[in-house]
Structure 1
Amino acid sequence: MKNKSGGHRRSKSARNEAAAGNKNGRRRRNKSARHGATADDGDRLSKLPNDLLLNILERVDTLDAIRTCILSKQMLNLPTMLSQFFLSAGSIPGHHDKACLFSCSEVFRTNNAVARVTDNILCTRNPKIAITKLKIRFILMPHDSLTIAKSVARAMATQKVGAAEFEIRTEKDYEDCSPADLLQFAKQLNNFVGACWDTFAGLTRLWLCNMRFGELDIPNILSTCKLLESLHLTNCDSGTDSVLQVKHAQLVELQVDYGEFDRIELTCLPKLQRVIYNYWCTYEDPLYFGFVPQLSKLNLTKTGIRSEKILELSQLLANVPSLSDLHLDFESEKIWVIPECPKLLTPVLSKLQHVNLENLPEGCDLAWTMFFLEAAPFLKELCITVWDHWCIMATDPEFRKKYGFCQKADVNWKPHVPDFKHKNLVKLTINGFQPDDGFMEYIRNILEHAVNITEISLYDRKVCGSCGELAPEIKDKVCPSRYPQTDEERKQITEGLGLASRAMVHFRS
């Protein structure tokens, strides 16, 4: 800190040390000088061993890593020795990143920089060092895209490349796209794939956004991407009421966000293990499972409305023999699965071990979730989250009425065998726990039927920063949390559950 005369102020202890001629202070300064720990001796980062520096640089965006290396002569050659690359055109349109600080012109310049750096670094790097991971996020612009793809193709032909991933965005966000824009972007992508088929043939992961394809376009892309293990589609479809048929010998993961497919048919995917489908637009079953012998994880998210079909898991999962992990997110609205009897469900849930029910609406009876215990004899863990997440919910009464949003209503369920016992559930997790009759009765029911449960973890409501910006009339609807904070409050809950020992119940922060 500078004083008024422009000199640097010294602390009181420093002035006392100078006045008294403190020997210890002089010894410390002399010791520092002997070891060269002065600002003039350069930064400490460049003095680290190369293997440690490379480990650090491979954890950040490659553009940032290169900028760091430019600042030091000792590090100039390190970019040619990297084995992992992540090149990104910043927070680009379509990414829905609230923290985006880039203007369109800045993003396009960054996109061009990504293309140039990809070309330069893949041409000059040490070919003896294998590329274990190559991830490039860029905007679909003809010149830049071709530069990137041809550089990657050369690397694939001359060097060993492990996992290669393209994340391809469009220059417009989906909300700004007309139907003609979506069709044009898909046409550009098709031309791109056709011009660089050798690059796409080597990709292991592909993420596409904001495109409306012809009926056979996505199957053709999949047939080109022979090594593809993960396909992610965001705001992509083939038009309203279209059907997407997916066949692939290597695909392990499929994620679809939004889009207007009437149905996605997973006809022949022998290695498929994970499916994530968020926000489908159909009044029928959104997925058809054909030959998917290894599918073990299914994640579905949907804001349910009155007119849409309730899913019957016994039908939806009829051809899924090995499901072990099921995640359903209800977005604080209508429950869109129906509790079915064990006779129908047990054949498809016989290997289920983990169930996560996310964003169940507050105030509704939770007893219906017990049908999973009835139907899944090997279930080990049940996790539920109860939360009215107001900042993502439709709150205007007229809007809710117009688009068929439902009022809160309990889902009817009664056990088919009143005294059934579940022997494998060991853990129950509740996010959004409140010390009211509904939660307490629910936990007591679990304890009655799950005879070997060893852990109950109770969490307060989730916290969302955006919910602090709600309109006053919405904030008035939010009931303050009564999550137990004191030891005495927690003791009362444990006793209310009829437990002699508190060891089983964990109040998590």
Structure 2
Amino acid sequence: MPARSRAIKALVLGFYLSAPHLSSIGSAVQDVISRGKTRCLVFQISPPLVDNNTAQQLAELGQQFMSFSRAYQVAFRWLTRLHLRSFAFGDITDLITACDKLKHLNMRSCRLVDRRSALKIGAPYSGLQELEFTHFGCKRIELISVPKLRTMLCHSWRSKNPPVRFGYVPELCKVSLTREAKVWQAPFLLSECLSRSATNLSKLHLNFCHQMIWINPEHPKQLTAIFRNLADVSLSGIFPECDLSWTLFILEAAPALQKFTLSRAQLCAKTAVDSAEKTNLVWEPSKDFKHLNLKKLAFQGFEEEDKVTSYIRLVMERAVGLKRIVLLGELPCQDCNDCKRKCMLGELPSKDCNDCKRKCTVDKARRHRVKVQLAHGSCSSVEIIICTLKCHH
């Protein structure tokens, strides 16, 4: 068989960091990429024991991984995507620098050896396009210089706020932050987190996980330079008792915004013992503020219909170019999902199944009532659509 027919263009490997096998994996990968045809090389690496590792064990695993990367530099130089789980590092700058072709880095349940230190990423020549950190343990993530970065996802950070400080990131397009705020995490200003160099930022997603709102409203002038190209904003997991008018500070700071999505929490959402106290936010938008470019407002969660209707009318008054309002069906919580799964498997009695159906019927009725209230006495030509779970996207 000709050598060219054996060339592998895409190679995805998931493996445990087990010493007896690393040399064979490293050698095999380097043999494959030596043919020069591989365009996509992905490593998904976990320690043999993921749960209940001590800090010392995590540090030893991190050292073992770094030794592996140095021993097979050719393989890591061709790496395009790297997923790491449950390692502790002193620093990752050398790793990023050594991976010439790395575009996506995903770190889950990882940490710095010294969690009181900041993770500083200064990689001016790196081709990194996407960073994702979930349950990462450090003082803060500081992106000093990552010029090719387009997407930053930071979920369930273990540090105080803000979790990230953006430096030189001129190509940044999407930022997603997700966290259930804890008692030691005070709200912060987005202007303290985002960078004025991120002039291409077009999509922002903030998920508050049904708990305290962990950002503070601020004067739009502090954010306009950063938000001038922001086109799509999604705020999810807003607890039901929270007033919604504060969200307009984002609308006022983002003149190019075209799609605005708000999702309120389910009433059955549980609160952890160490969650931060939920407090209401107060914000008064500028009296003469009008938004010219917002085309679509999507809203999810209808427990308090009057509050929802008042908020949507407030947006309609300000967003003079609004074309469409989409009323989304409520997303089920974990308990409801479990109920649905058991119902499909025939593991639930008919009464429980009927309870689920009744929830869906009540939710749909609420959306209909909101639609009627919005249309009553209004001369607006805005299209109001009631959407089911199937058409959320």
TM-score where L is the length of structure 2: 0.86
| Equivalent in the alignment of 2:284 | 414
Distance 1:354 1:228 in 2: 27
Is it true that 1:238 corresponds to 2:109 in the alignment? no
| One-letter code aligned to 2:314 | N
The one of 210, 229, 232 aligned to 1:354: 232
Structure 1 residues 116-265: aligned runs within 5 Å:
127-128=4-5, 131-174=8-51, 176-214=52-90, 216=91, 218-239=92-113, 240-248=115-123, 249-265=126-142
Q: Is contact 1:246–1:268 with CA below 8 Å preserved after alignment?
A: yes
Deviations 1:280-299 (A, max 9, x none): 22224222222111111111
Q: Is contact 1:360–1:388 with CA below 8 Å preserved after alignment?
A: no
| Equivalent in the alignment of 2:271 | 394
Is it true that 1:495 corresponds to 2:375 in the alignment? yes
Deviations 1:46-90 (A, max 9, x none): xxxxxxxxxxxxxxxxxxxxxxxxxxxxxxxxxxxxxxxxxxxxx
* 1:173 Cα deviation after fit: 2.3
Distance 1:444 1:383 in 2: 15
Q: Is contact 2:7–2:32 with CA below 8 Å preserved after alignment?
A: no
User: Structure with the greater relative contact order (CA < 8 A, sep ≥ 6): 1 or 2?
Assistant: 2
| Equivalent in the alignment of 1:14 | none
Distance 1:500 1:195 in 2: 67
Q: Is contact 1:205–1:228 with CA below 8 Å preserved after alignment?
A: yes
Distance 1:229 1:441, change over 3 A: same
* 1:468 Cα deviation after fit: 6.0
| Equivalent in the alignment of 1:83 | none
Distance 1:125 1:236, change over 3 A: farther
1:206 aligned counterpart, secondary structure = strand
The one of 266, 271, 284 aligned to 2:143: 266
Distance 1:425 1:388 in 2: 27
Distance 1:352 1:468, change over 3 A: closer
Distance 1:500 1:423 in 2: 15
| Equivalent in the alignment of 2:307 | 438
* 1:425 Cα deviation after fit: 0.3
Distance 1:210 1:318 in 2: 29
Q: Is contact 1:390–1:467 with CA below 8 Å preserved after alignment?
A: no
Distance 2:331 2:2 in 1: 46
Distance 1:145 1:431, change over 3 A: farther
| One-letter code aligned to 2:109 | N
Distance 1:345 1:255, change over 3 A: same
Distance 1:125 1:419, change over 3 A: farther
The one of 244, 261, 270 aligned to 1:366: 244
| One-letter code aligned to 1:420 | F
Is it true that 1:429 corresponds to 2:298 in the alignment? yes
2:182 aligned counterpart, secondary structure = coil
Higher helix share: 1
Deviations 1:264-283 (A, max 9, x none): 11112111111111112222
Q: Which of 342-351 and 325-334 deviates more? A: 342-351
* 1:373 Cα deviation after fit: 1.3
| One-letter code aligned to 2:151 | R
Distance 1:372 1:306 in 2: 25
Deviations 1:376-402 (A, max 9, x none): 1111110111113756x435xxxx2xx
Q: Is contact 1:245–1:266 with CA below 8 Å preserved after alignment?
A: yes
CA RMSD of aligned residues (A): 2.6
| Equivalent in the alignment of 2:385 | 506
Identity over the aligned pairs, expressed in percent? 29
Distance 1:464 1:284, change over 3 A: closer
* 1:202 Cα deviation after fit: 0.7
| Equivalent in the alignment of 2:217 | 339
Distance 2:62 2:163 in 1: 23
Please identify the structure whose Cα radius of gyration is greater. 1
| One-letter code aligned to 2:82 | L
Distance 1:137 1:497 in 2: 60
* 1:490 Cα deviation after fit: 6.6
Distance 2:290 2:96 in 1: 46
* 1:191 Cα deviation after fit: 1.8
Q: Is contact 2:168–2:195 with CA below 8 Å preserved after alignment?
A: no
Distance 2:236 2:121 in 1: 28
| Equivalent in the alignment of 1:382 | 260
Q: Which of 244-253 and 420-429 deviates more? A: 244-253
Deviations 1:456-496 (A, max 9, x none): 111121024534669xxxx9xxx957323499747623434
Structure 1 unaligned spans of 5+: 1-123
Distance 1:488 1:431 in 2: 13
Distance 1:243 1:490 in 2: 47
Number of equivalent positions: 367
Distance 2:240 2:208 in 1: 12
Q: Is contact 1:268–1:291 with CA below 8 Å preserved after alignment?
A: yes
* 1:186 Cα deviation after fit: 0.9
